[in-house]
Chain A
Amino acid sequence: MEFLVATAVATMTAAGIYLLLRAQTFSIVLGLTMLTYAVNFFIFASGRLTVNQPDIVVDPSGTYADPLPQALVLTAIVISFGMTALMLVMSVRSYFESGSDLAELFGPEEIVSKDRQ
């Protein structure tokens, strides 16, 4: 299971970083989504991967599932979800304002000259 989770986190992080470095806003949004998925898995794994364990300490000598990372993941999911929505709204607005999906910063005159007629 460790191998599976580690591979999933690694793949999603790699894909996320690749997409993040592209010049289109849509790719950046996808990349950030991938990255936050990877981060959520990663936080989850920080509480150790256990199966079929209680999340409260019943037997102090036995193992238990750490509930704190699960609570942290919940917070992280909510925040990243909201942020993805905001990012999408801003990309759409940027597309309508400048007529292109590029994320680079132009000087104002370049944007005017590139404006669709």
Chain B
Amino acid sequence: MNHWMIFPILLPAVVAPLLVLAIRNDIVLARIFSIGCSIGLLVVGGYQFGLASDGLIRTYAIGNWAPPFGIVLVLDRLSATMLLLTAAVGLFVLLYSITGWDKRGRHFHPLFQFQLMGLNGAFLTGDLFNLFVFFEVLLIASYGLMVHGGGGATRIRAGLQYVAMNLTGSSLFLIAMALIYSVTGTLNMADLARKIHDTPAASQAILNVGGALLFMVFALKSALFPLHLWLPGTYANAPGPVAALFSIMTKVGVYSIVRLVTLSSVGLEWTLPAALATLVVGSVGILASRSLGQQASFATLASMGTLFVAISGSNAAALSTGLYYLIHSTLCVAGIFLIVDLVIANRPGFGDALIESPTYPNQGIIACMFFAFAVAICGVPPLSGFIGKILVLQSTQGFSNWPWIWSVIFVSSFFGLVGMARSGSLLFWKCNKTILDFALIDANTPEPPMESTPSTSVSKITLPAVAIGCIFSLIVILSVFASPISQFMNATAEQLYDSQEYVDSVLGKDK
């Protein structure tokens, strides 16, 4: 048994309480520990990625309790990819947030580490109830992060809605789990995958309801239409680095749906229409947004839509393109929310609203970063957004309704392009007048709102630019090495669809 497997959960689980209990008053020490922990996670993630890439499925029985009875951790290619992605995004977002966000309220670093712990646990666990528990760990941390640093009535209310929505989701999760347990008598995912095939016909209805509810819960987490309504309000109102970290959280829902679909093929018939609707809502939202934060939220929605189109293919080739797009979408969303936060910090009084304003500091460099990420998000060549969309389009060629899918993806990409071009020209191109000129022209401009950020944060651009640059370099790597990465994703998807191998690896061949 390889004990490194539990490290991605153990490391933040040890560091986070240490941050709360021992070094809560020393921000420098807290930063050092938090960054150190994230680097450790990245190293372990890289090691596990190397381990998993040989195609074996490794298991770790916690407390050495045999799998169907005890809780088991499972490391396959998909888990390893998600762990590495989480560690990388977590580290760079943390790097960004130590420029000031972590000082605006208490306990940023412990909550951040607990969030990473919950994410890693959700990606590793092979037990349904344990998945629920890790969902709760990451959600509880995210509730704290969501309202980090106060932020006034709007953020608190958005946080309140977010908490209420997720608590309802958790209740549904428990109901689904109880239904499934009452029929199969097990909560181990591999054992479930085996037992659902020999359920008596009388209990089949209960099992179906359980599976449908489970799909609904994961769709809620990943903001699939019509359960997407919470996402724009939450992401646009969360603190910038937190919204960037949340880009991984929607992917937890996607990850769970991928597991559910490959192990039991529940919910497949609804995925494609819901995915296309999500794509439409997202791209119309990009056009209609009144602030850059909102626009980034709707861009997230649109990318989730594209992702689910690939997943709905229910074959390994389509799923592999979806996994490639998943990595791309996570990196893009994380980067664009950091840029939104930079714009807010540098435009006191105007924030990220899509209106003209006087020139502001660091306008040029922020514009360059926005341009790079907008190219990636819209799917314009040469970055990974383009490659990812081409791959998804190719994989849907075999579908009976591919003209519909293609036209929706093309039109929504065009909408995204127009929306991003508009906000870019408004925020960076047209903000070219000095404050005095601006006051003369726009005499009826309303007074800047009160929530303008302190000017101390205006001049610091180096570390944020480095953090965003690191995320962008990952996107470049994803684009340049598209061929080996998509081959790896092919192997991942094939491993996922070989559910017999998963069951055998977890439970042993003889059972």
Contacts and interface: CB of A to CB of B under 8 A. Distances in A.
Contact of A87 (B152, B158, B163, B171): B163
B161 A105 contact: yes
A43 B181 CA distance: 9
Contacts of A80: 167, 170
Contacts of A6: none
B164 A87 contact: yes
Interface residues of B, number: 33
A10 interface: no
Contacts of B156: 90, 93-94, 97-98
B153 A87 contact: no
B154 to A, nearest CB: 5
B140 interface: yes
B143 A86 contact: yes
Given A104-B157, A105-B158, A108-B154, A79 B170 contact: yes
Interface string B43-85: 0000000000000000000000000000000000000000000
Contacts of B174: 39, 42-43, 72, 76
How big is chain A's contact interface, by range?
A: 35 or more
B159 interface: yes
B485 interface: no
A25 B163 CA distance: 11
Contacts of B159: 90
A39 B179 contact: no
Interface string A73-117: 001100110110011001101100110000111111001000000
Contacts of A36: 167, 171
A20 B168 CA distance: 9
Contact of A90 (B147, B179, B233): B147
Contact of B167 (A42, A83, A91, A106): A83
B15 interface: no
Contact of A82 (B133, B140, B160, B181): B140
Contact of A46 (B136, B143, B181): B181
**Nearest 7 CB-CB pairings of A with B:** A98-B153, A46-B178, A46-B182, A97-B153, A43-B178, A94-B156, A39-B174
Given A80-B167, A90-B143, A90-B159, 16 more contacts: A20-B168, A32-B168, A42-B174, A42-B175, A42-B178, A48-B182, A83-B163, A83-B170, A86-B140, A93-B156, A98-B156, A103-B161, A105-B154, A105-B237, A106-B157, A111-B154
Interface of B: 129, 133, 136, 140, 143, 147, 152-154, 156-161, 163-164, 167-168, 170-171, 174-175, 177-179, 181-182, 187, 233, 237, 449, 451
